[in-house]
């Protein structure tokens, strides 16, 4: 029998969705170049991605159980890159994540 997720797990999924929505608001009207040039938006996006990564890390194996079609290990690893290689973050890669990966994580094709 499959057990239901705990309140904390539900909140962590909600945190992921909330931060995807934030990133969408932060990047409205921007393109890759615009994001790279807009210091506030770029750093806001990085922070939201860190929260998404941390929430995924805290979900542990429950993430794979409840949403098996997501690249959870890559999502978790992104936080390590943003924390430890912050000085080498390529804005074009962040833009690709924003444009290509977040919609899928949010359940959109």
Q: In whole angstroms, what is the distance from residue 16 CA to residue 12 CA?
A: 6
How much is the pTM? 0.90
- Asked if residue 2 is part of any domain, the answer here is no
46-94 pLDDT, tens digit per residue, is: 999 999 999 999 998 889 988 889 999 999 999 999 999 988 999 999 9
Helix-then-strand count for the chain, H and E: 7, 0
Give the C-alpha distances (Å, rounded to integers) separating 83 from 6, 50, 77.
28, 8, 10
According to DSSP, residue 73 is labeled H
Nearest to 76 by CA among 103, 108, 53: 53
Domain interval for residue 87:
7-105
- Asked if residue 1 is part of any domain, the answer here is no
Please tell me the total count of domains within the chain: 1
The overall average pLDDT reported for the chain is 91
- Asked if residue 34 is part of any domain, the answer here is yes
């Amino acid at each position: 029998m499959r057990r239901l997720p705990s309140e904390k797990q539900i909140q962590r999924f909600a945190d992921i969705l909330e931060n995807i929505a934030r990133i969408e608001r932060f990047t409205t009207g921007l393109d890759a170049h615009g994001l790279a040039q807009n210091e506030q938006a770029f750093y806001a996006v990085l922070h939201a991605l860190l929260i998404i990564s941390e929430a995924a890390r805290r979900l542990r194996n429950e993430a794979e159980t409840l949403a098996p079609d997501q690249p959870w290990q890559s999502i978790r690893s992104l936080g390590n890159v943003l924390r430890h290689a912050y000085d080498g973050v390529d804005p074009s890669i962040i833009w690709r994540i924003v444009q290509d990966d977040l919609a899928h994580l949010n359940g959109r094709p």
